[in-house]
Amino acid sequence: MEKLYVDGGTRLSGKIRISGSKNSSLPILAATLLTDSECILRNVPDLSDTNYMVQILSTLGAEVERASGNVIVKANKVAAEAPYDLVRKMRASVCVLGPMLARNGEALVSLPGGCVIGDRPIDLHLRGLEALGAEVEVKGGDIKVTARSGLRGANINMSGQYGSTVLGTDNVMMAAVFAVGETIIEGAAAEPEVEDLAKFLNSLGAKIEGAGTSRIVIHGVEDLSGGEHVVIPDRIEAGTFCIASTLAKGNLEIKNVNPKVIRAELALLKKFGAKIKTENNKILIKGPDKIRPIRNIKTREWPGVATDMQSQLMVLMCKANGKSTITENIFENRFLHVGELQRLGANIQIEKNKAIIEGNTKFVGAELMSSDLRASVALVLAAIVSHGKSIINRIYHLDRGYEDLESKLRNIGVKIRRVK
């Protein structure tokens, strides 16, 4: 199994180009199943998750070509069943459910797999599809949905116990594209990735209004054409490198990024002491000599502080000059990285969904185990500012969401190598 070896103690300096968004690419790839015409997607990151989705599309019958960040899909025919062997590898694979149902009037998809970071039930997805007129049956680890009389517009509320659901909003929005009449989604996820999916669908001929807000209106159409779309930059990758620069006294120029979509995180980093200048598609960020502590940080739905930044921010808090706290409001089991940070020397206490970080940690390199995608990159950040060498295991988690991470880190001064 592959490992990362990281030598700590490096200041970061240089330029980073942010890749296309993983969380935008996956539902957009699934949406190509809605048309039998050719779709050209650009700026798609080369990740294990996007590769799995390409394999799912191919298995369902689509013709798929991939080269140099571009993916070309032509789905003349779409099978009614998504294979368990691929779907089990990532949770986002469930977003083929809506397009398959809309295209065929039926779909059979295995319950998805992915990171073990909490209970993320898909009941909201299914509730939304039922509101559109689908019959839903969950049996033996499979989800079967049918719409023998077609889908019809409805008023749907996608709010749940932990707020709105991004993939649930995506799934229902894609299914509603072919529903007769008007569909209104209240409590919709407002993330930039949802807005990007809607822009792609509208470019194919869909009629969607309000994406990027909590209320989305879809006017059903009979069919969609082909089209071309450029995937937005990955805001979580951008935020991760901004945190890295703040953490390691860096001086980075981060390109191909929309600063507005991480404004909550940038505001926080300024409070930690970072000096930040933003331009249209660029962030210049310089880390402080001393990191200031911050209390009462809370993860929230966009445009709040992203849960996908929580573990990286915790590493920053470990190096702050005093006590900090962060509360996880999205997932109930997203502190699995804490034990590994403690192995490096961190002083962290957990009280339910709140972490109390004492700060002034002197990290000492150790052998570490990744538990999920964002936790794994947090361990890399911690290793960068540790004394000595760290070894990070189970780095297949990293390959799910960070394109060419080692090369990007080496280019800004990190001593890092992958060993098989």
Give pLDDT tens digits for 160-211. Answer: 877 789 999 999 999 999 999 999 999 999 999 999 999 999 999 999 999 9
- State yes or no: cis peptide before 121, omega within 30 of 0: no
Residue where one domain finishes, among candidates 198, 230, 262 = 230
Task: Please indicate, yes or no, whether residues 200 and 295 belong to a single structural domain of this protein.
Answer: no
At what angle are helices 310-318 and 373-384 packed, to 10 degrees? 20
Task: Please indicate, yes or no, whether residues 80 and 143 belong to a single structural domain of this protein.
Answer: yes
pLDDT bucket at 23, cuts 50 / 70 / 90: very high
SS3 102: helix
CA dist 174 and 46 (Å) reads 24
User: Which residue out of 39, 95, 115, 242 is catalytically annotated?
Assistant: 115
Across the chain, what does the average pLDDT equal? Answer: 94
Task: Please indicate, yes or no, whether residues 338 and 392 belong to a single structural domain of this protein.
Answer: yes
Domain of 400, CATH number, reads: 3.65.10.10
Q: What is the pLDDT of residue 117?
A: 37
CA 249 to chain centre: 27
* Active-site annotation holds for 242: no
Average pLDDT over residues 108-116: 68
Task: Please indicate, yes or no, whether residues 237 and 373 belong to a single structural domain of this protein.
Answer: yes
Task: Please indicate, yes or no, whether residues 294 and 372 belong to a single structural domain of this protein.
Answer: yes
pLDDT bucket at 115, cuts 50 / 70 / 90: very low
Task: Please indicate, yes or no, whether residues 159 and 264 belong to a single structural domain of this protein.
Answer: no
Q: What is the pLDDT of residue 118?
A: 45
Residue of 236, 232, 302 whose CA lies nearest to 24: 232
Beta-carbon-side half-sphere exposure of residue 220 (alpha carbons within 13 Å): 17
Average pLDDT over residues 321-339: 92
Beta bridge partners of 111: none
Task: Please indicate, yes or no, whether residues 222 and 101 belong to a single structural domain of this protein.
Answer: yes
Model confidence, pTM? 0.95
Are 101 and 145 in contact by the 8 Å Cβ rule? The answer is yes
Task: Please indicate, yes or no, whether residues 141 and 267 belong to a single structural domain of this protein.
Answer: no
pLDDT bucket at 121, cuts 50 / 70 / 90: low
Task: Please indicate, yes or no, whether residues 164 and 42 belong to a single structural domain of this protein.
Answer: yes
Q: What is the pLDDT of residue 1?
A: 86
Task: Please indicate, yes or no, whether residues 37 and 179 belong to a single structural domain of this protein.
Answer: yes
**Residue 83: pLDDT above 90?**
no
Q: What is the pLDDT of residues 50-78, one digit of tens each?
A: 999 999 999 999 999 999 899 999 999 99
**Residue 415: pLDDT above 60?**
yes
Average pLDDT over residues 112-121: 51
Task: Please indicate, yes or no, whether residues 216 and 246 belong to a single structural domain of this protein.
Answer: no
Q: What is the pLDDT of residue 332?
A: 74
Residue where one domain finishes, among candidates 175, 201, 230 = 230
Helix, strand, coil content of the chain in percent (nearest 5): 35, 30, 40
Structural domain tally of the chain? 2
Q: Residue 124's CB: how many other CB atoms inside 10 A? A: 24
**Residue 231: pLDDT above 70?**
yes
**Residue 91: pLDDT above 90?**
no
Q: What is the pLDDT of residues 340-391, one digit of tens each?
A: 999 999 999 999 999 999 999 999 999 999 988 889 999 999 999 999 999 9
Task: Please indicate, yes or no, whether residues 40 and 73 belong to a single structural domain of this protein.
Answer: yes
Residue where one domain finishes, among candidates 193, 214, 230 = 230
Q: What is the pLDDT of residue 87?
A: 81
| Domain around 367 | 3-19+233-419
User: Which has the higher per-residue pLDDT, 284 or 91?
Assistant: 284
In sign, the C-alpha dihedral spanning 243, 246, 251, 257 is positive
Q: What is the pLDDT of residues 126-159, one digit of tens each?
A: 999 999 999 999 888 889 999 989 999 999 999 8
Which secondary structure element, helix H or strand E, spans residue 182, and what is its range? strand 182-186
Q: What is the pLDDT of residue 113?
A: 58
